[in-house]
Structure 1
Amino acid sequence: MSSHEAFLKEIVANPDDLTPRLIYADWLDEQGDP
């Protein structure tokens, strides 16, 4: 499983929790994918 998939699964599993979304956004920024 790629990091993308892991982040997306966590976001889908916890739609009301903003933390996984923020972590994913930070990760995307670090990857140079705004």
Structure 2
Amino acid sequence: MGGRVTNEDNQSLTRDFHIEEFKDALSSMHSDKAP
């Protein structure tokens, strides 16, 4: 069985995140949802 995640996808998923991305993600969530 071949791999399911491409190298490009893997790089995107494992890169360091910026605090702004984290804040944007949290603020866009509905208040009654868990992170």
* TM-score of the two chains, using structure 1 as the length reference: 0.37
Return the structure number with greater helix share. Answer: 1
Bigger CA radius of gyration = 2
